[in-house]
Amino acid sequence: MKSQTNRNKVAIVAPAIKTFFWKEFYDNLTKNDCKFEIIFVGHQTPNFTLPDNFHFIYSDKSPTHCASIAYSKAYETDCHYIQNVADDCLYQNNHFDKLIAAYEEQRRHDGDFLVCGPQSYNGNVKNVMALFPDIDHRDVQSRKNACIRAGGTEKHLGCRSEGPLLPTGNFSTIETSKKIGDIDLNFKALYWDCDLVMKLHSMNGKVAIFDSNKVSSVIERHNSMSRLYRMFGQLDYNYLVSKWDVRSTDGKTWNVTEKNLEGLT
């Protein structure tokens, strides 16, 4: 039987194969006061001993399948929170302590059905994860399709705020993660986490993105030798946008409905 939930403990989950980063990744997480367990799943077995709270599960299935396995394992722990990550990223000191505090503050305002994440930046400019291209996107057909999804006219397309908020990494309670539901295994490697947040939107949940004065953005390694985006990025993105009917009447608030794709995948 699962032990009582530890409200100061985070399950850190990922499909992961870059074992040469794992020691530094673990050491980086120890710069938090909160407790954590790491659950990495993939086909590259580390050749060094892992700490007791660092779990590796071998799987030669797709990255999305590996993510699903990691989530299922996390649900068996006594962790209260869950965060999907990449093994080639790093965090500022006390990142998860601050994330927990910001989440709990936001939860008191928005309720328990909440997913959050830190703001991502390109220099000093905020990055916005969105389903729609910018209004001045050069691809006319993409812009036309976005207009249809956004309510039918270009005035409903914001220039850097198109569509429902999507965090960079989904931080929530395990209870909320279970309520959102299972990962869609039709994704090959990417955007399955965005799809989970779209499910949350469709269920009238809340999403919060925290500026750097609350939670520092994630540090992305340069030259991490990741090939997933090149291999699966466009394919998985196309599947993501095909799944959701996203409409707005004011360009700010969005109605999100999952399409019936039965027989199309």
pTM recorded for the entire structure:
0.87
Residue 52 pLDDT > 50: yes
151-196 per-position pLDDT tens digit: 555 555 443 446 788 888 999 999 999 999 999 999 999 999 999 9
Distances (CA, A) of 160 to 55, 94, 112: 39, 30, 28
- How many angstroms separate the CA atoms of 47 and 103, rounded? 36
> What mean pLDDT do residues 239-251 have?
78
Encoded amino acid at 1, one letter: M
Q: Six-digit token pair at 195?
A: 């799809």
Domains of the chain: 6-129+165-226 (3.90.550.10)
197-214 per-position pLDDT tens digit: 999 999 999 999 999 999
Predicted local confidence at residue 20, as pLDDT: 95
Q: List, edge to edge, every strand of the sheet that includes 114-118.
A: 54-58, 35-42, 6-15, 79-84, 171-173, 114-118, 206-210
Question: Is the separation of the CB atoms in 122 and 217 below 8 Å?
Answer: no
Predicted local confidence at residue 128, as pLDDT: 62
Residue 18 pLDDT > 90: yes
In the three-class reduction of DSSP (H, G, I as helix; E, B as strand; rest coil), residue 61 is classed as: coil
Instruction: List the beta bridge partners of residue 79.
Output: 6
Q: Phi, psi (5° rounding) for residue 170?
A: -100, 110
Specify the pairing of strand 125-126 against strand 121-122: antiparallel
